[in-house]
Structure 1
Amino acid sequence: MFIQTEATPNPATLKFLPGRIVMGNGTLDLREGAEAVRSPLAQRLFGVPGVTGVFLGSDFITVTKADGEWAHLKPAILGAIMEHFMSGAPVLAEGADAATNEEGEFFEPADAQTVETIKDLLETRIRPAVAGDGGDITFRGYRDGTVYLAMKGSCSGCPSSTATLKHGIQNLLRHFLPEVQEVEAV
């Protein structure tokens, strides 16, 4: 098994590509070891000293570190990923579900058409680019011209995430939907 790694815009996060499907659908963003009971793979990764976050995407895993050098952490993380996939254990624990895009959404029924367009733009133009950087972004709500989005994986806590939201995503949404005035992270 050959696992590729890629840097992300977040210096505290590294993207691992195991060359196979990680999550069939949805994503899983775990920010502390106690949440890892949802995934045997995440449990192995949180067992590596210095790991503070695990994000499971469609065909990648991003790992966030507290401190230390990637040169020291990377071999242990690669070993944990390889051991997991070689063991044949499931990525998700029995009964655990991946996150869906519908969790906690809020918007006025009158804005349903605008929200559909926002979701379509997120799905077709924004999420693929964000996944390329080892993260995910999901719609959370729309109210009074403001779009609320959740940043996950390497995007969560990334120094450039504010610029991504304000200059990239906000400008794109405004171009297609003039009623969008602002984009905020939740």
Structure 2
Amino acid sequence: MFIQTEPTPNPNVLKFLPGRDVAPHGAREFLNVDQATASPLAEALFQQEDVAGVFFGTDYIAVTKAGHGLDWSEMKAPILAAIMDHYTSGAPMLRDAPEVSADSEDSEVVAEIKALLDSRVRPAVAQDGGDILFDAFDEETGVLTLKMRGACSGCPSSAMTLKSGVEQMMRHYVPEVTRVEQVA
């Protein structure tokens, strides 16, 4: 098994590409060791020194380091070993059922926003090891709130991505959107 790595715009996140499905039924994020108990792989990654977050994309794993302490050159080999061990063990990726979105009926505007996010925004940010999720849309003010995950969460360029990229596109295709904001 050959696992490739790719840098992301966030210097504290490295993307690992195992060449196999990681989360084909939807991205998952683990922000601490307690959340990681849902996945044998996430649990093993949190056992590595200085791992502060794990994000499963469709075909990649984005690992966030604590930002202090070890360099990627010191962390990469143990993380690669944990990923390799997981795939060779045959253990499931998740112990629980995949997260299921319980969407109520969306308004026409919200459906349009979600479709644009899924078709244009999410594939682009996935290349950088992250994800953007719909949070809410206030139809009175036109404010769209989005949640950044993976490498996008805490990335120095995420604010620019939201304002220069996502907000501009949303305002162009969905005139009801007046502003885009990030929620934690």
Cα distance in 2 for partners of 1:142, 1:57 equals: 25
* Native 8 Å contact 1:50 1:65 kept in 2: yes
Pairwise CA distance, 1:179: 1.6
1:89 to 91, 95, 113: 91
Aligned-pair RMSD on alpha carbons?
A: 1.5
Identity percentage of aligned residues? 51
Pairwise CA distance, 1:157: 0.7
Q: Which amino acid aligns with 2:164?
A: H
Match of 2:166 in 1: 169
Cα distance in 2 for partners of 1:102, 1:127 equals: 19
Match of 1:77 in 2: 79
Encode CA deviations 1:18-45: one digit per residue, 9 max, x unaligned: 0000112111111111111100000110
* Structure 1 unaligned residues grouped into runs of 5+: none
Match of 2:127 in 1: 132
| SS, match of residue 78 in structure 1 | helix
Match of 2:111 in 1: 116
Structure-2 change in CA distance of 1:102 and 1:8 (3 Å): farther
Match of 2:51 in 1: 51
1:160 to 157, 160, 164: 157
1:145 to 122, 142, 146: 142
Q: TM-score, normalised by structure 1?
A: 0.92
Encode CA deviations 1:85-118: one digit per residue, 9 max, x unaligned: 000000001xx23345557x8xxx8x71110110
Structure 1 runs of 4+ aligned residues shifted over 4 Å read: 100-103
Encode CA deviations 1:42-100: one digit per residue, 9 max, x unaligned: 0110010110100011100000001320000000000000000000000001xx23345
* Native 8 Å contact 1:165 1:183 kept in 2: yes
Match of 2:26 in 1: 26
Cα distance in 1 for partners of 2:5, 2:134 equals: 28
Cα distance in 2 for partners of 1:163, 1:102 equals: 30
* Native 8 Å contact 1:27 1:100 kept in 2: no
Q: Which amino acid aligns with 2:11?
A: P
